[in-house]
Each structure stands twice: as structure tokens, then as C-alpha cells.
């Protein structure tokens, strides 16, 4: 049943207004935390001054790869063109979304997307066409599974091949990975022999389960970015990274009687369940056309869900199927992470393509019980991307076991991993020092695939270009 505007207005007045008014003590206060928020103590220093969040300044790397705070260290796990798969081919390039799973006997299994768009001949290191694991032999993308053993040994193999532009995705409650194609290419375009723009399931624990890959057409065909699954209700929430017009936030409701589990999504009919897009309104009941309208931490919007007319979108893109005033849009809807009974999701920036206020990043939290979204982090426009004091373009995100969010930066200039505390304050965790440009015009690739190991001791992240997976360890601290 839709959440009526009257119900939302009353609910906000009774329960939500306090949260909105307190602003900077928003939803992250209940997260499994903020990495060393408020200096790891949450207290003032001996002179009564507020402690700065984080772990202190970043220390330049003599190897020219990754700057970290003092006491932290990193290890290269895979490197495209350098490391190899168990079949002998090179590790594919363009690392993107990643999730970590607990394997047997202390093994960590990481499923790693490779965001390779278009035909295979465009890329020096595409995902190899492993027998039985290929969807479309014309496509370059896919996923690899990286096995990190307790003694430090690393093995890597293909999880799925022949997919395109595998950007982000999401882990499922049943310990598999959903990889998302950020494309709308149909067969016959850009070298493709099959239609693309789908979600696929990859099982890191069972190679046989990945044979004969099938798209989950029930989730729709569009420029997918990320997906999370509500472990209680079974809903899937999905983001779309697209423009002209801006993309949408989606919810898929499973059909009656459907039960989630390994391999079950691929058995669904193309029209199974209901795919719907978010329509937001404020506490006065007024329709919100774009999330760029929100400027303050603590802003709360009610959410209705509007059914998608044609989810396979062979003639008209899904986001173009809605009339004016029908749904709410946002620029570059990117990473998602399920925690605290809801979904954190990102809008990377807003400029002239958005009707509201320009920004360089928002993080929202969707509460399925209240059917509301709340703005938890806002990044102002970064006027000095070449400087090291501010961040822009949040992309992949994770919720940390030590508190708050850890965010991968995909902006202009310098690129960072950074944390966001329960109060919405940000601090640096790492800086990419690998210059792929020139000395006169330096260029630094984005970070992707940020996630923690199952035991919480290691933070994994990728440098997308050329494709490097890193394991970061150090003196993590909990928020008191």
C-alpha cells in the first residue's frame, strides 16, 4: 500500500522532526560505526578542543602507489598485466565493485568486477572466456574470484565472463555476489552478440554454480550500478548511473511465495515480481523531482514506489518511460550497502543536469519500515580538486565494523579512500599516488571496490586503472 503524503507528514511531525532538526547527529549514530570517529575516542583533547576524526595525516609512499596514515600498511593482491589467473592468463583490468566472503580454513574470497565496456578487441586484458562461464563471447567484462589464504598465498579464477561494463553490484544474504552491467547495449551494438544491461549472480564458493550464466531479467534492463537485498522482506534495491535524464532508485518486490537462495534468482521469469521506481515528497507533501533539492544533513523524504511500465526497455530506456512529476531522479546514483535495517546509497554529484543545488556528493539512507530516505552525508562543491584537504565524487561505499562509512572517491584531481563519521564529518584513509598522466598534467585513477574482510582486520580496495587490488591493514579503532 502506498505511503500517503498525509501519513508521512504526520509521522514526520511525531517521530522524524527530531532527527531532521538535530541534523548532524543523523542515522550513522546507529551504524556498525565510523572508523575512529572523533579521533577514536569521541572526546575532547586535554585542552578541551574537539578531537579531529580519523587517523591523522597521510604519509607519502616511497613506492609511489598508496599514501596511508602512520602505522598502516598495504599489500598488492592482484595487478592487471602483472599477476595471472590459475589458467595462466593475465588478471583482467579495470577493477571495480568487490565484496569479501568467508571461505573454509581462514580463506577470504573476493569477487571482483571488471568494468570493461564494448568489444573484446578494445582491451589488452579482458576477462578470459573460460569454458562454460561465458554469457556473450563478444563482451570483454565479467568477474574474477580472488582467493586469499591465511598464509598470504593468492589464487584467482574467472567467475563469469562475456558480460559488459561490470561496475558495482552487491553481496546477498546467502553469500553470493550480484554483478551489475552499467550499459544498455543491445545485440548488434558495440560488438555485442546478446542484449546487455542486466544483473547476474556469481557464487564464489561453487564454480559449478556459475556455469551457463543467465541474466536476472526480473531486475530490469538499464544502466545498473549497485544492488542490495533486504534480508527480511526479500526486496532488492538498485541504483542507476545514467543521465539525460538523470537515473532512478529502484525496488524489486519478489512474487508471492518466492524464497531467496543460491541460484534461485536466475530461475525467475523475466516479468516476475514488481519493479518500481522511487517517488519522493517532503514533510509538506510536496513532490521532490530530484535529490539535488536537499542541502542539509538530516533532510527526510517520504518514498512511494511507481511501477515500471516496461522493464526490459528494448525501445525506450526505463528512466525515460515516466512522465513529468511521476518519479524522483538523481545524478550518478552509485554505490549501495545494506546495514542498520536499510540501504545506504550514493549520489556522486550534481551540476547543471540537476534542477537543485550543485554538490560533490550525497549519501542517503533508505529506511524500509518508515519508507523514508534521510540525507546523512553532503559534500560541498570541491573548488580545489588538486589539493588534499577535501573530497568529491563518492562512489562505492561500505559500512565499517569500526563505525560509520568508508567511501571510494571518483572525482576530479586527487583520489582518496575516506571515512565519514556519525556526524557526517569526513577524514582521509588513503590517497592514490600512482600517476597515470604526465608530470605536467597528472592524473589519478578512481578508487573502487571498498570492503572489509569478514574478520574486519583488512580493508580491501581497488585502483581501477590499470587494475590493482589492495589489502590495507593497520591500527583500526572503534568509536567509544
Higher pLDDT, 16 or 124: 124
Reported as half-sphere exposure (CB side, CA atoms, 13 A), residue 444 has a value of: 25
333-375: per-residue pLDDT in tens? 999 999 999 999 999 999 999 999 999 999 999 999 999 999 9
The per-residue pLDDT of the chain, averaged, comes to 90
For 51, other C-beta atoms within 10 Å of its C-beta total: 15
Q: What is the pLDDT of residue 45?
A: 47
182-196: per-residue pLDDT in tens? 999 999 999 999 999
Quote the percentage of the chain above a pLDDT of 70. 89
CA distance 452 to 199: 23
CA distance 40 to 43: 8
Q: What is the mean pLDDT of residues 22-46?
A: 33
Q: What is the pLDDT of residue 283?
A: 94
155-167: per-residue pLDDT in tens? 999 999 999 999 9
Q: What is the pLDDT of residue 431?
A: 97
CA distance 182 to 57: 35
pLDDT bucket at 52, cuts 50 / 70 / 90: confident
CA distance 115 to 345: 20
Q: What is the pLDDT of residue 474?
A: 97
For cell 576530479, name the residue: 412
pLDDT at 104 over 70: yes
For 227, other C-beta atoms within 10 Å of its C-beta total: 27
Q: What is the mean pLDDT of residues 282-299?
A: 97
Phi, psi of 120 (to 5 degrees): -65, -35
Which burial class, exposed, middle or buried, applies to 385 when counting CB atoms under 10 A from its CB (0-12, 13-18, 19+)? middle
CB 307 within 8 A of CB 370: no
Indicate the pTM of the whole model: 0.91
Q: What is the pLDDT of residue 433?
A: 97
455-480: per-residue pLDDT in tens? 999 999 999 999 999 999 999 997 54
Note the CATH architecture for domain 72-473.
6 Propeller (2.120)
191-210: per-residue pLDDT in tens? 999 999 999 999 999 999 99
Phi-psi region of 175 (alpha: psi -120 to 50; beta: other; left: phi over 0): left
CA distance 442 to 453: 32
Q: What is the pLDDT of residue 479?
A: 53
Amino acid at each position: 500500500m502506498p505511503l500517503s503524503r498525509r501519513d508521512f507528514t504526520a509521522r514526520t511531525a511525531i517521530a522524524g522532526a527530531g532527527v531532521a532538526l538535530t541534523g548532524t547527529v543523523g542515522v550513522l549514530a546507529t551504524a556498525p560505526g565510523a572508523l575512529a570517529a572523533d579521533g577514536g575516542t569521541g572526546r575532547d583533547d586535554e585542552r578541551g578542543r574537539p578531537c579531529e576524526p580519523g587517523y591523522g595525516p597521510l604519509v607519502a609512499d616511497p613506492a609511489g602507489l598508496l599514501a596511508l596514515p602512520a602505522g598502516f600498511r598495504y599489500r598488492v593482491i592482484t595487478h592487471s598485466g602483472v599477476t595471472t589467473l590459475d589458467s595462466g592468463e593475465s588478471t583482467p583490468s579495470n577493477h571495480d565493485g568487490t565484496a569479501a566472503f568467508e571461505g573454509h580454513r581462514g580463506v577470504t574470497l573476493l569477487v571482483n568486477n571488471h568494468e570493461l565496456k564494448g568489444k573484446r578487441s578494445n582491451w589488452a586484458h579482458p576477462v578470459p572466456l573460460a569454458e562454460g562461464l561465458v554469457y556473450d563471447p563478444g563482451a570483454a567484462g565479467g568477474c574474477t574470484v580472488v582467493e586469499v589464504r591465511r598464509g598470504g598465498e593468492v589464487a584467482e579464477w574467472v567467475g563469469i565472463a562475456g558480460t559488459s561494463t561490470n561496475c558495482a553490484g552487491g553481496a546477498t544474504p546467502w553469500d553470493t555476489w550480484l554483478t551489475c552491467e552499467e550499459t544498455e547495449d543491445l545485440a548488434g551494438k558495440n560488438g555485442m552478440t546478446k542484449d546487455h544491461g542486466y544483473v547476474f549472480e556469481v557464487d564464489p564458493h561453487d564454480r559449478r554454480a556459475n556455469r551457463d550464466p543467465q541474466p536476472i531479467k526480473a531486475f530490469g534492463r538499464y544502466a545498473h550500478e549497485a544492488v542490495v537485498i533486504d534480508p527480511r522482506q526479500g526486496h532488492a534495491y538498485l541504483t542507476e548511473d545514467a543521465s539525460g535524464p538523470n537515473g532512478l532508485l529502484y525496488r524489486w518486490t519478489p512474487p508471492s511465495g518466492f524464497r531467496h537462495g543460491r541460484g534461485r534468482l536466475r530461475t525467475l521469469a523475466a516479468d516476475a515480481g514488481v519493479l518500481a521506481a522511487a517517488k519522493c515528497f517532503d514533510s509538506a507533501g510536496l513532490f521532490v523531482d530530484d535529490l539535488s533539492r536537499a542541502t542539509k544533513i538530516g533532510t527526510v523524504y517520504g518514498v512511494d514506489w511507481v511501477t515500471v511500465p516496461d522493464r526490459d526497455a528494448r525501445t525506450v530506456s526505463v528512466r525515460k518511460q515516466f512522465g513529468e512529476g511521476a518519479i524522483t531522479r538523481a545524478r550518478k546514483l552509485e554505490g549501495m550497502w545494506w546495514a542498520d535495517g536499510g540501504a545506504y546509497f550514493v549520489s556522486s554529484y550534481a551540476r547543471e543536469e540537476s534542477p537543485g543545488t550543485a554538490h560533490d556528493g550525497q549519501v542517503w539512507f533508505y529506511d524500509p519500515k518508515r519508507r523514508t530516505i534521510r540525507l546523512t552525508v553532503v559534500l560541498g562543491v570541491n573548488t580545489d580538486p588538486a589539493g588534499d584537504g577535501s573530497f568529491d565524487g563518492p562512489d562505492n561505499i561500505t559500512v565499517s565494523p569500526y563505525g560509520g562509512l568508508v567511501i571510494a572517491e571518483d572525482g576530479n584531481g586527487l583520489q582518496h579512500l575516506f571515512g565519514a563519521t556519525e556526524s557526517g564529518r569526513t577524514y582521509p584513509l588513503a590517497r592514490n599516488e600512482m600517476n597515470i598522466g604526465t608530470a605536467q598534467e597528472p592524473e589519478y585513477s578512481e578508487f573502487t571496490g571498498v570492503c572489509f574482510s569478514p574478520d574486519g582486520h583488512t580493508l580491501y580496495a581497488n585502483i581501477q586503472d590499470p587494475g590493482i587490488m589492495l589489502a590495507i591493514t593497520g591500527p583500526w579503532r572503534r568509536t567509544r
